């Protein structure tokens, strides 16, 4: 009986396991391997792919553009994740209330979720077009600015911050916010009402209820959300690639875009793999920690 | 996740509640409402701007300052979009690739998710860990080997190659989501009864579990479809030539080739078309959203 059961289990899981291995695990490891060999597509025919150890990593880290890109990625992730969490907490609270029109409001908040990243980039490129942006005209009318904001092309910087970086982050947050809101809303609905009632008896203010009841109850869910958002941010690609291609002056370049361009514009698959290898190490590290805590619950 | 909605009669009137509120709470509430209104503007403006621009005639789209509420609505941009790029062909390509990939991935995911949800066997946790890891780590860390792999099989710029890649990349997500669904939606007594009646394991799965779980399976298929439909990265690498492109790649290229101001209404029309399928299926999967979200975690 058990043998029959095991046979059934392995037969059922085999197709998924093979595909995950062939199209998931193996390419990841192979990509990591590519970062330790020379792999210049223009030289590969005559020189092959000799092992070069850490040379590719040394090469990318001595490229100031790459170092800037790495810092951009971290800044981009921190900004986007923070904004998504803060706005997400606020909106999920609002949607958790009871008032007429709540369902409609929930639908409206969800809309950006269903806009594909390529389309989101396209819409925002039009919306942020320096000469024709309604936002610029609105700010002019309100008397807040005197010259147009060049959302995607201004190359002035304040430390690591620049207007294009902020604009790109805003697009990313826009696209990813509904996910966070609905995720948190589901968690809010599972907080027992009695906790709030007890707090009310003690005369807690709105803010105190949020701080002492809501936030602690959300902690496990926030940890999951934070992990997913950070991993997503570090591997983010489409919006930066389509909207600015990393420009102006590398200000909005992030690791995935750098990697993609090294590979398909310069045919340096070794440097590209070193860049994506760094994403792999960072996200893999976070994932393993996350999985350990998650799998413990199952076992 | 049902919502407990208190009966309106049991609640004091709005003004009474405002009066009973402390000054600090009132300030908090006003601040929260103000920020929410600002956020709604941020969320909805781009969507409105896309829709509005896609119905504006060529002359009006160029007017400065920009027109917020068009006087005249026209379908001309939708016709023009199809002249600039083979838009409907791209949509058909996207539909074909995404539907096929979603179908295959869902079938494979179903069987794997079922045994992962129901049985304990050596290696189960390890396999689950591998699938979770694949689901979490960003796609950019595996595109190059897959690109060469598809190229070596002679499948670059073919539908088969892209479908193959999509099945691989949607599979972990589908397995995780379905596993959660099988655990909650189908009581184990169901197939226990079937097994006692003399069904084999596969028969019990096929005849008893699958029919019961069909709605959840359909939802997973739709999510898998959406993942493929929304994808830009894989499609831009594996299928980027001529009329075979997917609509997302078509839009990405259109954007990078300028999509200049003179064509922007047509460009926005293409964007609306590329968003509609997602919005349509959204109506069907709404109630499954939360399950879909938590698929990234093992359990919540």
Would you call B300 an interface residue with chain A, using a CB distance cutoff of 8 Å?
Answer: yes
Q: How far, in Å, are A207, B88, B138, B211 from residue B81 at the CA level? A: 51, 9, 33, 43
Nearest to A240 by CA among A226, A218, A255: A255
Asked whether the predicted pLDDT for residue B6 surpasses 80, the reply is: no
Instruction: Please tell me which of A121-130, B104-113, B217-226 the model is most confident about, judged by mean pLDDT.
Output: B104-113
Mark yes or no for CB contact A111/B115 under 8 Å: no
Q: Does B196 touch chain A (CB under 8 A)?
A: no
Asked whether residue A184 is assigned to any structural domain, the reply reads yes
Q: Which residues of A touch B6 (CB under 8 A)?
A: 98
Q: What is the CA radius of gyration of chain A?
A: 24
Phi, psi of A131 (to 5 degrees): -75, -25
- Number of neighbouring beta carbons within 10 Å of residue A220: 14
Give the orientation angle of helix B247-256 with respect to helix B264-285, to 10 degrees.
150
Within 8 A of A295 by CB-CB distance, chain B residues are 125, 128-129, 298
Cβ distance B282 to A294 less than 8 Å, yes or no, reads no
B90 pLDDT higher than 70: yes
Q: Is the pLDDT of residue B213 over 50?
A: yes
A contact test, residue of B46, B85, B117, B200 with most A CBs within 10 A = B46
B137 vs A: CB within 8 A:
yes
Backbone angles phi, psi at A158, to 5 degrees: -120, 95
Q: Which of residues 69-108 of A touch B (CB under 8 A)?
A: 87, 90-91, 93-94, 98, 108
In this complex, do B144 and A263 lie within 8 Å of one another by their Cβ atoms?
yes
CA A210, distance to chain mean position in Å, is: 26
Is residue B83 scored above 70 in pLDDT?
Answer: yes
pLDDT at A263: 92
pLDDT digits 0-9 by tens, B167-196: 998 999 899 888 888 888 777 787 788 888
Using the beta-carbon criterion (under 8 Å), do A27 and B149 form an inter-chain contact?
yes
Residues above pLDDT 70, as percent of chain A = 99
* B5 — pLDDT class (breaks 50, 70, 90): very low
Instruction: Tell me the pLDDT band of B294, cut-offs 50, 70 and 90.
Output: low
**From the CA of A269, how many Å to the nearest CA of chain B?**
8
**What band does A227 get if pLDDT is binned at 50, 70 and 90?**
very high
Which residues are CB-neighbours of B59 under 8 A, at least 6 positions away? none
Question: What are residue A129's phi and psi, to 5 degrees?
Answer: -55, 120
In a domain, A221, yes or no: yes
As a whole number, mean pLDDT of residues A151-155 equals: 87
Position A133 scores a pLDDT of 87
Per-residue pLDDT for A150 more than 70?
A: yes
Q: Tens digit of pLDDT for each residue in B21-43?
A: 778 888 888 999 999 999 999 99
Give the mean pLDDT of B92-101: 95
pLDDT of residue B215: 81
User: CA torsion, points A194, A198, A200, A204, in degrees to nearest 10?
Assistant: -120
- CA nearest neighbour of B116 among A284, A16, A221, A1: A16
**Greater model confidence, B59 or A65:** A65
Q: What's the rounded Cα separation, in Å, for the pair B280 and B293?
A: 19
Alpha helices in A205-246 (DSSP H): 206-209, 215-234, 238-243
Q: Considering the entire predicted model, what is its pTM?
A: 0.89
Q: Is the pLDDT of residue B300 over 60?
A: no
Give the mean pLDDT of chain A.
90
Inter-chain contact A116–B28, Cβ cutoff 8 Å?
no
In a 3-state reduction of DSSP, which class is residue A3? helix
pLDDT of residue A18: 94
Report pLDDT for B1.
40
pLDDT in tens, B114-149: 999 988 888 898 999 899 899 999 999 999 999 999
Above 90 in pLDDT, residue A163? yes
Q: What are the CA-CA distances from residue B89 to residues A214, A258, B82, B96, B196 (Å)?
A: 49, 31, 9, 11, 53
| Arithmetic mean of pLDDT, A245-270 | 92
**B-contacting residues of A 16-55, CB under 8 Å?**
16-17, 19-28, 30-32, 34
If pLDDT is split at 50, 70 and 90, which confidence band does B288 have?
A: low
Which residues 52-71 on chain A approach chain B with CB closer than 8 angstroms? none
Identify whether the C-beta of residue A251 lies closer than 8 Å to the C-beta of residue A72. Answer: yes
Shortest Cα–Cα distance, B69 to chain A (Å):
12
How far is residue A179 from each of residues A87, A113, A258, B3, B260, measured CA to CA in Å? 11, 7, 27, 19, 32
How many Cα atoms are found within 13 Å in the side-chain-facing hemisphere of A7? 7
B255 CB near a chain A CB, below 8 Å? yes
Better pLDDT: A145 or B148 = B148
Strand partners of residue A162: A157
pLDDT at B247: 93
**Chain B within 8 Å of A269 (Cβ-Cβ)?**
yes
Of A39-43, A188-192, B58-62, B162-166, the one with minimum mean pLDDT is B58-62
DSSP secondary structure letter of residue A149? -
CB pair distance less than 8 Å for B232 and A238: yes
B96 near A CB under 8 A: no
Q: Which long-range contacts (CB under 8 A, 24 or more apart) does B251-254 make?
A: B251/A118, B251/A119, B251/A122, B252/A118, B252/A121, B252/A122, B252/A238, B252/A241, B252/A242, B254/A122, B254/B84, B254/B85
Nearest Cα to Cα of residue A23 among B146, B277, B152, B2: B146
Q: What is the pLDDT of residue B292?
A: 53
Q: What per-residue confidence (pLDDT) applies to B198? A: 79
A111 domain residue, yes or no: yes
pLDDT reading at B7 higher than 60: no
State the pLDDT at residue A28: 94
For B:31-60, CB contacts with A below 8 A are 32, 35-36, 39-40, 42-47, 49-50, 53
pLDDT over 50 at B81, yes or no = yes
∠ CA A234-A239-A244, rounded to 5°: 110
* β-strand partners of A51: A37
Q: How far is A186 from chain B (nearest CA, A)?
A: 7
pLDDT score of A232: 93
The model's pLDDT over A7-60, given as tens digits with 9 standing for 90+, comes to: 889 999 999 999 999 999 999 999 999 999 988 888 887 887 888 889 999 999
Structural domain tally of chain A? 1
- Determine the straight-line distance between the first and last CA of chain B, rounded to whole angstroms: 13
The answer to whether residue B4 scores a pLDDT higher than 80 is no
Query: A75-125: per-residue pLDDT in tens?
Result: 999 999 999 999 999 999 999 888 888 888 888 898 898 899 999 999 999
Return the H-helix or E-strand segment holding B14.
helix B14-20
Please work out, in degrees rounded to the nearest 5, the angle formed at the alpha carbon of residue A228 by the alpha carbons of A222 and A230.
Answer: 95
Q: Which of B141, B162, B182 to mutate to test the interface with A (most CBs of A within 10 A)?
A: B141
Length of chain B, please? 300
The answer, for A219 touching chain B at a CB cutoff of 8 Å, is: no
List CB contacts (< 8 A) between A288 and chain B. 133
Nearest chain B residue to A83 by CA distance is: B39
pLDDT category of residue B10 using cuts at 50, 70 and 90: very low
Percent helix, strand, coil in chain A, to 5, is 75, 5, 25
Spatial CA neighbour of B100 closest among B228, B280, B244:
B228
Q: What is the pLDDT of residue A70?
A: 95
Domain B85-296 class? mainly alpha
Q: What CATH number is given to the structural domain containing A75? A: 1.10.3720.10
Domain interval for residue A150: 33-298
Closest Cβ opposite residue B252 in set A118, A126, A131: A118
Shortest Cα distance from A119 to chain B (angstroms)?
6
Please indicate if any CB of chain A lies within 8 Å of the CB of B296: yes
Where along chain B do its domains lie? 12-80, 85-296
How many A-B residue pairs are in contact by the CB < 8 A criterion? 310
What pLDDT score does B19 carry? Answer: 66
């Amino acid at each position: 009986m058990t043998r029959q059961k095991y046979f059934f289990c392995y037969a059922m899981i085999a197709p998924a396991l093979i595909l995950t291995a062939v199209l998931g695990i193996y390419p990841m490891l192979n990509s990591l391997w590519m970062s330790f060999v020379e792999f210049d597509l223009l030289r590969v025919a005559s020189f092959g792919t000799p092992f070069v150890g850490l040379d590719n990593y040394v090469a990318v880290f001595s490229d100031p553009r790459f170092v800037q890109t790495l810092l951009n990625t971290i800044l981009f992730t921190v900004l986007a994740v923070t904004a998504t969490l803060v706005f997400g907490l606020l909106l999920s609270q609002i949607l958790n209330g009871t008032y007429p029109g709540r369902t409609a409001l929930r639908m409206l908040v969800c809309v950006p979720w269903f806009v594909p990243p390529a389309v989101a980039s396209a819409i925002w490129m039009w919306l942020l077009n320096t000469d024709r942006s309604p936002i610029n005209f609105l700010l002019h009318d309100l008397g807040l600015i005197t010259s147009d904001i060049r959302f995607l092309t201004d190359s002035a910087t304040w430390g690591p911050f620049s207007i294009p970086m902020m604009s790109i982050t805003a697009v990313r947050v826009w696209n990813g916010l509904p996910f966070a809101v609905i995720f948190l809303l589901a968690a809010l609905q599972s907080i027992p009402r009695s906790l709030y009632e007890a707090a009310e008896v003690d005369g807690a203010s709105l803010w105190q209820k949020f701080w002492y009841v809501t936030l602690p109850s959300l902690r496990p869910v926030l940890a999951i959300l934070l992990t997913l958002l950070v991993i997503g941010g570090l591997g983010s690609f489409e919006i930066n690639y389509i909207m600015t291609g990393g420009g102006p002056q590398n200000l909005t370049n992030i690791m995935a875009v750098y990697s993609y361009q090294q590979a398909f514009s310069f045919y340096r698959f070794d440097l590209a793999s070193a860049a994506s290898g760094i994403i792999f190490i960072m996200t893999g590290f976070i994932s393993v920690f996350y999985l350990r805590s998650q799998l413990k619950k199952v076992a | 996740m049902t919502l407990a909605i208190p009966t309106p009669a049991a609640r004091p009137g709005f003004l009474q509640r405002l009066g009973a509120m402390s000054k600090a709470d009132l300030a908090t509430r006003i601040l929260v409402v103000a920020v929410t209104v600002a956020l709604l503007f941020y969320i909805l403006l781009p969507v409105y701007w896309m829709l509005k621009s896609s119905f504006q005639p060529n002359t009006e789209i160029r007017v400065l300052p920009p027109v917020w509420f068009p006087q005249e609505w026209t379908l001309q941009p939708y016709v023009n979009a199809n002249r600039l790029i083979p838009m409907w062909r791209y949509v058909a390509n996207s539909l074909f690739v995404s539907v096929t990939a979603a179908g295959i991935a869902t079938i494979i995911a179903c069987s794997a998710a079922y045994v992962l949800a129901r049985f304990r066997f050596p290696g189960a946790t390890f396999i689950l860990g591998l699938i979770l890891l694949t689901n979490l780590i960003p796609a950019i860390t595996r595109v190059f080997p897959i690109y060469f792999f598809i190229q070596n099989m002679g499948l670059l710029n073919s539908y088969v190659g892209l479908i193959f890649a999509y099945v691989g990349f949607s599979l972990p997500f589908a397995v995780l989501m379905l596993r959660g669904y099988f655990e909650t939606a189908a009581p184990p007594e169901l197939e226990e009864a079937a097994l006692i009646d003399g069904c084999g394991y596969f028969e019990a799965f096929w005849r008893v579990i699958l029919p019961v779980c069909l709605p959840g399976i359909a939802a997973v298929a739709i999510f898998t479809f959406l993942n493929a439909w929304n994808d830009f990265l894989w499609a831009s690498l594996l299928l980027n030539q001529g009329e075979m492109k997917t609509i997302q790649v078509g839009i990405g290229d259109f954007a990078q080739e300028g999509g200049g101001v003179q064509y922007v209404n047509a460009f926005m029309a293409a964007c609306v078309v590329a968003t509609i399928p997602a919005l349509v299926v959204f109506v069907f999967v709404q109630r499954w959203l939360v399950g879909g979200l938590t698929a990234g975690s093992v359990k919540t």
